[in-house]
Amino acid sequence: MKTTRRRFLQAGAAFLPVLSGWRLPAEAVPALKTDASGNVFLAPDDPSQWPAFRAALEQWRTETRARLAYRDELYRRPEFAWAASNYACGFLMMWDERFCDRRRGRFRVDDVLDEGVREFGGYDSVVLWHAYPRLGFDPRNQFDFYRDMPGGLAGVRHAVRRFHRRGVRVYLDYNPWDVGTRREAGPDLETLVELVRRLEVDGIFLDTLNRGAAGFRAKLDAARSGVILESEGAVPLENVCDHHASWAQWFGDSHAPGVLRHKWFEPRHLQHQIRRWDTDHTGELHAAWMNGSGMMIWENVFGSWMPWNARDRSILRSMLPIQRRFSSLFVGGAWTPLVPVECAGVFASLWADGNLRLWTLVNRTENTVAGPLLRVADESPQDYFDLVSGGKAAAERRGDGVLLSGSLPPRGIGCFMAGHARALGKGFGEFLKHQARVKSRGSFDIARPARATLQVPAPRVRLQTTVPAGMVAIPAATLELRIEMRVRECGFYESTPPEGHRLADSYRFQTQVFHRTVSFKAFAMDETLVTNAQFADFLRASGYRPRHPANFLKHWQGKRPPAELADLPVVYVDLDDARAFAAHYP
């Protein structure tokens, strides 16, 4: 009886053999409930219901796999193995000055990655977001925006290779709704696959989609090995077989952490938790930690600054090294959601194989919880470790069990591990020291981090008594501006959702009105935009040459614009080019 009891404890099933082949009678298995999105199995708050909840999960997975005749061949292919441990994905706006150095015409890859290590614990991948919200100002399509980056496609490929040298995978972005710009010679899919080949990327982020088009997988495999598809929406279960990842965007949850439906169905399917407009990310972090899944790190949201606070950064820095080192447990071990705990408001999952047991814990309360946290089966001569604090765990043997104690800060996380010394792996001692250093610099400050605004003063010109030809005088004034705009996730901060509001709800695309008070001195401005013909005259008179000529006036024919474009506004000039033009005509 003692051996049997230990086995059930190791499975984390509170002595109920839920995951060992024994099944509850059909009438004893409760119906699973989900959040509004249908993508999280909501957990009961009552611990006495957790064994039945786990039984229902197991039964659902078995029956659903059978119904779909599920096949996991793509998850077993070695070129896709990286996707299952892609825990931290950074969302990069390619024109963000933190990433794009326009003056030097290059990307600050190492600067971005160094900041990622320092602030978040490092990225496993990045999304190179390119077009929206600039798309539509001219005929360029989404693919042109990659072509027009510093150095063209060769410059982007060079950046991708620099990410690869640092062990970071790279996604391209695809916007299927881009239908009002110039068209490619062939279908979007063909162009996208060609960009994958030329830029040597590792994944496609399917913006607004829940799956890629039929045949996408075969075309990607022909272009480049190991390229995955990751959808913004939840992938239909029948497509999990060929989509290695998806976003867990604005998913709901229960007080007792729920179970990600796709992660439970296929443990190697990686989901990135994301609520981009929230300032408190602990809900996402808890879901990722309890489900062995990932996080999307996104602070520049289409030009609006939404920084992570110190507490959330500290939690993620503690999580990621554990997830990466013990990834085999999170993607291939026996996962037992909601094992028994010793404290109200604390919840735990168990991840185990034949040699190691790892418990992920979350504190759902706003207070520090300290003292006994877990009672587990004793598997002597195993040792017990606190992987967040980076040292031996406070373990007290009581009969054939062990009581594990510790301290969890408000909304914080914990992690215990039990294992034989030989199973802990090479460098485990250094790993613990690293975790201790991470914890020592942690902060649970939840204030919004300050960020200085860089304002570039406009160049001064001499005062003129007459208005130059082609310009109009604007008198000095103080005005109350009434601004009316549709909510589109970009522009003014007033156009962004209020705290805790899900953008996909009724807030999106509503018309919003707000006001600005502005004061200015008298000035003159051109009656029309600068035309191609006027810019050609400027070049001829000034001899100006741009610092980075790669895309400069590339729509012209040689040194002159086509006749049909002469009176249209000039494009393919940057801010330095515009300032040079203005300085030439003071």
Total of domains in the chain? 4
Predicted local confidence at residue 495, as pLDDT: 61
Going by their DSSP bridges, the two strands 88-93 and 294-297 should be labelled as: parallel
pLDDT of residue 30: 66
Domain co-membership, 358 together with 214: no
Query: How many residues are present in the chain?
Result: 586
Residue 108's pLDDT is 97
CA 512 to CA 207: how far, in whole Å? 25
Q: Tokens 């051109």 sit at which residue?
A: 526
The structure's pTM equals 0.88
Pairing assessment for the beta strands 477-486 and 511-520 based on DSSP bridges? antiparallel
Residue 409 lies in a domain: yes
Statement to judge: residues 511 and 543 lie in one domain: no
| Same domain as 406, residue 422 | yes
Whether residue 64 is contained in a domain is answered as no
Same domain, 114 and 226: yes
* Domain CATH for 279: 3.20.20.80
Assess if residue 247 is contained within a domain: yes
In single-letter form, the type of residue at position 462 comes to: R
- Is the same domain home to 315 and 283? no
Find, among 93, 109, 124, the residue nearest to 319 by Cα: 124
**pLDDT tens, 136-146?**
888 899 999 99
Establish if 414 belongs to a structural domain: yes
Of 577, 585, 574, 572, give the one whose Cα is nearest residue 541: 585
Give the C-alpha distances (Å, rounded to integers) separating 338 from 255, 352, 419, 533. 12, 14, 21, 70
pLDDT of residue 5: 31
User: Are 129 and 184 in the same domain?
Assistant: yes
Among 306, 335, 364, the domain-final residue is 306
What pLDDT, on a 0 to 100 scale, did the predictor assign at position 380? 76
Give me the domain span that covers residue 410.
309-454
What radius of gyration, in Å, describes the C-alpha atoms of the chain? 28
How do residues 260-293 score in pLDDT, each as one tens digit?
Answer: 999 999 999 999 999 998 999 999 999 999 999 9
What pLDDT sits at residue 176? 96
Mark which of 283, 306, 329 sits at the end of a domain: 306
> 425 and 362 in one domain?
yes
Asked whether residue 130 falls in the same domain as residue 278, the answer is: yes
Buried b (16+ CB within 10 A) or exposed e, 465-498: eeeeeebeeeeeeeeeeeeeeebebebeeebbbe
Taking all residues of the chain, what is their mean pLDDT, rounded to a whole number? Answer: 90
**Domain identity same for 224 and 301:** yes
Task: Tell the burial category of 525 from Cβ atoms under 10 Å away from its Cβ (0-12, 13-18, 19+).
Answer: exposed
How far, in whole angstroms, is CA 38 from its chain's centroid? 21
Whether 557 is in a domain gets the answer yes
The domain boundary, picked from 306, 324, 342, lies at 306
Give me the sheet containing 394-398, strands edge to edge: 369-377, 401-408, 394-398
Structural domain contains residue 255? yes
Low-confidence ranges of the chain (pLDDT < 70): 1-30, 459, 461, 491-509, 586
Is residue 38 one of the residues assigned to a domain? no
Report whether 522 contacts 475 (CB < 8 A). yes
510 with 568, same domain? Answer: no
> Is 422 in the same domain as 562?
no
Query: Hey, what are 207's tokens?
Result: 């913006």
Examine residue 58 and state whether it is found in any structural domain, yes or no. no
Instruction: Check residue 27 and give its pLDDT.
Output: 43
The closest of 361, 347, 393, 399 to 378, measured between CA atoms, is 399
The residue behind tokens 């490619």 is: 184
Residues 285, 409, single domain; the answer is no
